Structure 1
Amino acid sequence: MAEFMAILLFISICVVLMAGYPVAFTLAGVSLIFAGIGVLTGTFDPGYLSALPNRLFGIMNNQTMLAVPLFVFMGVMLEKSKVAEDLLESMSRLFGSLRGGLIISVCVVGALLAASTGIVGATVVTMGLLALPTLLKRGYDPGIATGTLAATGTLGQIIPPSIVLVLLGDVMSSAYQQAQLKMGIFSPKTVSVGDLFMGALIPGLMLVGLYVLYLVAMIFIKPEKMPAIPQEELGEVEWGKLLGALVPPLALIVIVLGSILAGFATPTEAAAIGAVGATLLALFKGQLNISQMRSVAHGTTDITCMVFLILIGASLFSLIFRGFGGEHLIEEVFQSLPGGVLGAFFLVMLVIFLLGFILDFIEIIFVVVPIVGPVLLAMGLDPIWLGVMIALNLQTSFLTPPLGFSLFYLRGVTPRSVSTGTMYRGVIPFIGIQLLMLVIAYLFPGIITWLPEQIYGK
């Protein structure tokens, strides 16, 4: 009966989330209702809730999670400082005269902006406002144009510094510690956000390369869909302006990641460096004033409060789910699957991919990963490899209809002449590319584990 309640709790939360209720209050509210029912029916021990105050204090006292508002501040500040506008104008003049050059420029600039901001909504909306009207006006295929813009915006979720990796790093670290306890291992070893940053760097860059290869292939297959622009319309390339637009954001990314790589700073300290650097960049560009700071502060506060409220709700859910014996049920199911650990891994990846059609990545991280993570890690999977594989899988949730958030953001700035169906068709090849990257990372796990081993010896 208790295990049945655990299954019903998970299903009920998914149904209520799909109905559109706020995530944090859904997780906490539905879980408390089920806990009350469980106490009345004798299937839930209320003693499990005694651990909640310590968990909440741990969330508020978590130094790793401090990186979330700092990276968000960095991203919002860069969005407001017109980095994308300057980059896109310069890159378009450089490559726009080549067939398909404009869309490849959009892909490269989108990747740089995604790596700089790490915020999907900001990247997609900014690039949509700046690039989409020009692409449509120049005769580019609407499906290819919208698909590229939506897909490049998701790169900020896998290319570090990434908020997804920060959140996933904290959840995976907790899952790894639980897995060690299951195996009777008492070790201080954990999974840090820096480990995931290093593990995701090569797959993220490879994904950008696969996007560009797809666009180059489309140039040869359907050249009429990506016409060249006459150089006289573009004007001369201003190399000084190009370098001035390209070097500052690249330097900021290198400093933030380099400080982590070299061991000079933790991810949280590197996030603080990035926040200060983004502010200085906005100052040098003349984009920093009181109104701007107020806007950045509001944006940062909104996103940070959302994340922490969801984390608190998820902590309550995981406690009550465990109190119903849900963790033991998952463990029994995984161990009974054909194929052992690989069968369990493939099932989890399939479930995460399918949930991406209906749930946000934050919900999946805080609801699903704490349940399946300890079991998979106890079965012997490498924690860094598993974390990056989950992050790659979560990236598809931004593109999969009907609730792909990149599609929502882009729909808001796309002309009515471009149908939603055209946008959906445009992102299908990029979903396929992301799944291909998952397959490559599975077949060649060294793509993920090599850099952390070289840097940290893990």
Structure 2
Amino acid sequence: MTLPLDLLMFAALIGAILLGYPVSFSIAGVASIFALLGWLTGSFDLSLLGALGQRIFGLLTNDVLIAIPLFVFMGVVLEKSRIAEDLLETMGRLFGRVRGGLGVSVILVGALLAASTGIVGATVVAMGMIALPTMLRNGYNPKLASGVVCTSGTLGQIIPPSTLLIILSDVMSNAYQQAQFAQGKFTIETISVGQIFAAALMPGLLLVGIYILYMLMRAWLIPTDAPAMSESVVKPTAREIFLAVVPPVLLIVAVLGAILGGVATPGEAASVGAVGALLMAGVRMKASPTLMMAGGASLLLLAVLAGLFPVRIQRSDAGLFEWSMAFLFATLTFIGGMALFVSLKRTFTNSILKPTLSSTMVVTAMIFATILTASIFSLVFVGLGGEERITEILKSMPGGPTGALIFCMAIIFVLGFFLDFVEITVILLPLIAPALILMGHDPMWLAVLIAINLQTSFLTPPFGFSLFYLRGAAPKEITTGHIYLGVVPFIVLQIVGVSLIWLVPKVATWLPGIVY
């Protein structure tokens, strides 16, 4: 008995990726080969590939995905300008004298960096180079230190704004619309990025709380694993704490507040984040703090006033008020523009701007290439009958909708050992999510469960990306064995977090219900 082409296609894709061939080329190549095989065997209609142009155009004009390069840019600026290092060093001195306090500070900094950068690699590498040696010098268990650094760095995937959540919101919104069409509804609802961000915020904070509780309990049960720092460590002053913590927090509040409050689209909010990160980098590069704050305040005031009092001076009935507001807007634009110009100049002369732009382009190109080629893959897979087969498999699962969801979560967890979150999100989820929603699962609750499961893929050996990031940044006394064994308790904590959200769905659905 021969295996159907759709199942062979999925197996061939996993094999190609495991061989180490570039992911986007693997996806497109496997799709092309199986489209040809399907045509030769009479099981695929090549005319379906005519929809590719429309799919590519839809991807390139997707308002949601425009936010990705801006959020990536914001995160890379904060990492390259060493703002993250200042935050980590200050928090370490603040909590270090408490048993387990240094580990708690790493978790809290990971949460703050997650909400301000959203880039796992940058966070793990920064904490691996700064916090890990400090923890080892203070007698921390190498496995515990490695595990807490790896896990805290992955919070950028579940705490908004996050690249994973942006891609996931687009996938889940499409799946939700497909499910409603299948139910015969023609007045359909959609899911916005803001709703997914709101749904993920409380679960993300829940995970932070679980990590902190574990760290304090382990320090209490096994004091030698997480001892307090020596008395010689100088506690930071209130001014140092303010300068290190308040700017990132204000940036987070501005970005998330704009999205959750419905004031700005994700792309607009990401622009606010990118500009804010640039101004913060300017201060870090010794630009005038007064000019940077004046520039930031001017741009913020401009955004508010322009929304409240839109001015059209080309109109024939424009009076004194309109011309006065136009002059004010021009002045605010000039001040903000000057601050940005000085900040860009400082980051350029300090060799930060060029590597920031290069990193942003590399990450963005990787994400979009994967999404684009995954669209080709899904088109061929559906044409080979794969969508109907997956629906039948899920419907035949024992336990009904719950059994089907457990099965899908297990598949995602296992695939996380080998595949990246982008690949799983854009290849597998469009195939299983519509069926799960049709079975009655709340799409936002489902998105959060999947997001935490995908976050775990960064921690699972042998191909967990956080493990590789830390391996490259860790001091020589940290072995690969330390890192692999260190993340095991935190993988268990991830499963605990998923279980809590599964048992208490309100954790994910309460905030979106209030805000929207």
Q: What TM-score bracket applies, with the shorter chain setting the length?
A: over 0.9
1:163-178 → structure 2 map (5 Å cutoff): 163-178=163-178
Distance (Å, rounded) in 2 between the aligned partners of 1:412 and 1:295: 19
**Structure 2: distance between partners of 1:424 and 1:115:** 26
Give unpaired runs (5+ residues) of structure 1: none
Mapped contact 1:172–1:383 kept (Cα < 8 A): yes
Deviations 1:293-318 (A, max 9, x none): 11111111111111111011100000
Task: Give the drift of 1:59.
Answer: 0.3
Q: Is this contact kept in 1: 2:458–2:464, CA < 8 A?
A: yes
2-side partners of 1:194 and 1:185: how far apart? 24
Decide which of 333, 350, 373 is 2:433's aligned counterpart.
373
Q: Runs ≥4 in structure 1, deviation > 3 angstroms?
A: none
Distance 1:236 1:396, change over 3 A: closer
- Residues in 2 aligned to 1:313 and 1:121: alpha-carbon distance in whole angstroms: 23
Residues 199, 385 of structure 1: 8 Å contact kept: yes
| 2:288 is equivalent to residue 289 of structure 1 | no
Of 406, 416, 427, 1:346 maps to: 406
8 Å CA contact 1:98–1:228 kept in 2: the answer is yes
Determine the C-alpha separation between the residues in 1 that align with 2:486 and 2:235.
32
1:222-241 to 2 correspondences below 5 Å: 222-231=222-231, 233-241=232-240
- In the alignment, which residue of structure 1 is the partner of 2:72? 72
Please tell me the residue identity of whatever aligns with 2:196: L
Return the offset for 1:236.
4.1
Instruction: Provide the rounded CA distance (Å) in 1 between the counterparts of 2:405 and 2:98.
Output: 44
Q: Deviations over 1:274-305 (max 9, x none)?
A: 11111111111217421311111111111111
For residue 338 of structure 1, give the secondary structure of its aligned residue in structure 2: coil
What is the distance in 1 between the residues matched to 2:149 and 2:82?
A: 17
Partner of 1:161: 161
Offset at residue 56 of structure 1 (A): 0.3
SS at match of 1:289: helix
In 1: Cα distance, 2:253 partner to 2:465 partner: 28
Q: Give 1:405-420 correspondences, 5 Å limit.
A: 405-420=465-480
Trace 1:108-147 onto structure 2 (pairs within 5 A).
108-147=108-147
Tell me the residue number matched to 1:272: 271
One of 321, 335, 355 as aligned partner of 2:381 = 321
Q: Identity of counterpart residues, as a percentage?
A: 52
Asked whether 1:260 is paired with 2:318, we answer no
Q: Shift of the alpha carbon at 1:237?
A: 2.5
**Equivalent residue for 2:453, pick from 393, 396, 407:** 393
Distance 1:18 1:236 in 2: 48
State the distance in 2 between where 1:410 and 1:318 align: 33
SS of match in other structure, 2:155: helix
Partner of 1:247: 246
Preserved CA contact (<8 Å) 1:120 1:406: yes
Q: Which residue in the other structure is 1:432 paired with?
A: 492
For 2:240 and 2:416, the matched residues in 1 are separated by 40
Do 1:5 and 1:324's aligned partners in 2 also have CA atoms closer than 8 Å? Answer: yes
**2:104 corresponding residue in structure 1:** 104
User: Structure 2 length normalisation: TM-score?
Assistant: 0.86
CA distance in 1, matches of 2:83, 2:29: 41
Cα offset, 1:417, TM superposition: 2.2
Distance 1:236 1:366, change over 3 A: closer
Q: Would you say 1:36 and 2:36 are equivalent positions?
A: yes
Q: How many residues end up aligned between the 2 structures?
A: 455
1:153 Cα deviation (Å)? 0.4
Contact 1:3 / 1:329 at 8 angstroms: preserved in 2?
no
Q: Is the 8 A contact 1:441 1:447 kept in 2?
A: yes
**Which is further off, 56-65 or 132-141?**
132-141
Equivalent-residue separation in structure 2 for 1:106 and 1:237 (angstroms): 16
What residue number does 1:92 align with?
A: 92
Residue 39 of structure 2 is aligned to residue 23 of structure 1: no
> TM-score under structure 1 normalisation?
0.97
Q: What is aligned with 2:340?
A: none
Contact 2:180-2:188 within 8 A present in 1 as well: no
Distance in 2, matches of 1:429 and 1:37, equals 45
Q: Find the residue that maps to 2:168 and give its secondary structure.
A: helix
* One-letter identity of the residue aligned with 2:276: G
1:337 aligns with 397
2:307 paired residue number:
none
Superimposed CA distance per residue, residues 43-97 of structure 1 (whole angstroms, 9 cap, x where no aligned partner):
1111211111000000001111001001001100111121221112222222222
- What is the correspondence of 1:191-230 to structure 2 with a 5 Å cutoff? 191-230=191-230
Q: Which residue of 2 aligns with 1:441?
A: 501
Q: Secondary structure at the match of 2:457?
A: helix
| 2: CA distance, partners of 1:328 / 1:176 | 17
Letter in 1 for 2:214: Y
**Separation in 1 of the partners of 2:28 and 2:143?**
40
Cα shift readout 1:244-286 (whole Å, capped 9, x = no counterpart): 0000001100111111121111122111111111111111121
Q: Deviations over 1:409-441 (max 9, x none)?
A: 000112332221121111111111111010000
- Structure 1 distance, partners of 2:82, 2:479, is 29
Query: How far off is 1:230 after superposition?
Result: 2.2
Q: Which amino acid aligns with 2:116?
A: S
Cα RMSD (Å)? 1.3
Q: Could you tell me which amino acid in structure 1 is paired with residue 99 of structure 2?
A: R
CA contact (8 A) 2:99 2:216 kept: no
Shift of 1:2: 11
1:357-405 alpha-carbon deviations (Å, 9 max, x no partner):
1111011001110110111112221111111111011011000000010
Assess if the C-alpha contact under 8 Å between 1:73 and 1:296 holds in 2.
yes
| Secondary structure of 1:44 counterpart | coil
Give the distance between the partners of 1:103 and 1:337, measured in 2 at CA: 42
Say if 1:337 and 1:344, in contact at 8 Å, map to a contact too. Answer: yes
Task: Tell me which moved more, 409-418 or 56-65.
Answer: 409-418
